[in-house]
Amino acid sequence: MSEEEKLLEFEKRIENGEVIEPKDWMPERYRKQLIRMMSQHAHSEIIGMLPEGNWITRAPNLRRKLGLLAKVQDEAGHGLYIYSATETLGVDRQELNEQLLNGSAKYSSIFNYPTLSWADIGVIGWLVDGAAIVNQTLLAKCSYGPYQRSMVRICKEENFHKKQGYEMVSTLAGGTKEQKEMVQDAVNRWWWQSLMMFGPSDKDSPNSAELMRWKIKLKSNDELRQRFVDLTVPQARVIDIEIPDPDLKFNKETGHWEFGEINWDEFWSVVKGNGPMNKQRMAARRKAHSKGAWVREAAEAYANKHKN
């Protein structure tokens, strides 16, 4: 079969809703795009532990500390699942890690913002994990088998993260005046960044069309962002929290919440490495990697010893 025929057959399989498995033929470009997307996702889970890990020692009580510890550990697990799933595409985890450490691979820009108060932890669970779920629920139906299967369990855990975050936010919103102000301030600082998590608008997203044709992505960035806004605004209203967007209004005809303009200059500036915490995040990651060198060496020595 010629390459063109293979491609046609591959696209037909995708069109019929078939799932592509590691040993199946796939276009090189499909493999490359998946490696890029999945490794970016795995890196985000790992870097995403840093802003929240920052508050583990300062959680206000035991129950909150347990919840936060469990959540941060879940994120580590998500990273490991997705790295394993990425390895099925024939790429080495060490290589992926090097790309993260040398800056050639990206992770979600949301984690380049600081966590300034305890309320940020609740708001991250509610908004950041909430946005992640909207994205990941669809990835659980994407065309690549290992990626879609890893998403099924991850989504269940993300739902727990979102619920504990929202519960935290609603407790603070119904608390003292200071608590309410603290949580409103956190929402003001995280709202727009959560909307940016869905990535640039469809017209400025060069990979979108191809990813959608191959069902790596099932909905566009703008559709997902709209879904997140529609789900989240009513939740904010229930607990009397304001969304920091003067242009936000409900359109009765479309049934959607319309929202204001996103500051894409800020988004691109953070992507390029100029966010408030980019340097600290990378420094923390590099330090953890070099501190873990002895573990990797010991594991390798152990594996060699048991080879024969």
Smaller CB distance to Fe ion: residue 51 or 275?
A: 51
What is the rounded distance in angstroms from the CA atom of residue 247 to the CA atom of residue 64? Answer: 35
Nearest distance from C-beta of residue 207 to Fe ion, angstroms: 22
Say whether residue 245 binds Fe ion (CB under 5 A): no
Least separation in angstroms between residue 27's CB and Fe ion is: 29
φ and ψ of 93, to 5 deg: -60, -35
Q: Does 87 bind Fe ion (CB under 5 A)?
A: no
Specify the residue, 75 or 120, whose C-beta has the smaller distance to Fe ion: 75
Q: Between 75 and 87, whose beta carbon lies closer to Fe ion?
A: 75
Note whether 78 binds Fe ion by CB under 5 A.
Answer: yes
In angstroms, the CA 29 to CA 14 distance is 15
Token pair in block for residue 260 = 């204001």
Residue with Cβ nearer Fe ion (14 or 47):
47
**Residue 87 or residue 158: which is nearer to Fe ion going by CB?**
158
Angstrom distance (rounded) from CA 212 to CA 27: 15
- From the list 77-85, 170-178, 182-190, 289-297, the region that binds Fe ion by CB under 5 A is 77-85
Which segment (38-46, 109-117, 235-243, 285-293) binds Fe ion by CB under 5 A?
A: 38-46
Q: Which residues, including other chains, have CB under 8 Å from residue 292's CB and lie 6 or more apart? A: none
- Interacting residues of 195 by C-beta distance below 8 A, sequence separation 6+: 131, 225, 228, 229, 259, 262
Closest separation between CB of residue 72 and Fe ion, Å? 9
256 secondary structure, DSSP code: E
Give the nearest distance from C-beta 78 to Fe ion in angstroms.
4
Q: Return the structure tokens found at 13.
A: 């399989």
Cβ-based nearer residue to Fe ion, 26 or 196: 196
Cα(109)–Cα(197) distance, integer angstroms: 7
Site for Fe ion (CB under 5 A): which residue of 52, 120, 158, 245? 158
State the number of binding residues for Fe ion (CB under 5 A): 6
* Residue 130 CB, nearest approach to Fe ion (Å): 10
Q: Is 129 in the site for Fe ion (CB under 5 A)?
A: yes
Cβ-based nearer residue to Fe ion, 75 or 245: 75
* Of the residues 52, 75, 120, 245, which one makes contact with Fe ion according to CB under 5 A: 75
Q: From CA 194, how far away is CA 132, in angstroms rounded?
A: 9
43 is a site residue for Fe ion (CB under 5 A): no
- Consecutive H or E run containing 284: helix 278-291
User: Least distance in Å: CB of 170 to Fe ion?
Assistant: 18
Work out the end-to-end distance of the chain between its first and last CA atoms, rounded to an integer number of angstroms.
41
Asked if 161 is part of the footprint of Fe ion (rule: CB under 5 A), the reply reads yes
Residue 48: CA atoms inside 13 Å, Cβ hemisphere, count?
Answer: 30
The nearest distance, CB 50 to Fe ion, in angstroms, is: 13
Question: In whole angstroms, how close is the CB of 83 to Fe ion at the nearest point?
Answer: 13
Distances in Å between the Cα of 128 and the Cα atoms of 111, 120, 166 are: 10, 10, 11
Query: Is residue 52 a contact residue for Fe ion (CB under 5 A)?
Result: no
Question: Which run of H or E residues covers position 29?
Answer: helix 28-47
State the residues that interact with Fe ion by CB under 5 A: 45, 75, 78, 129, 158, 161
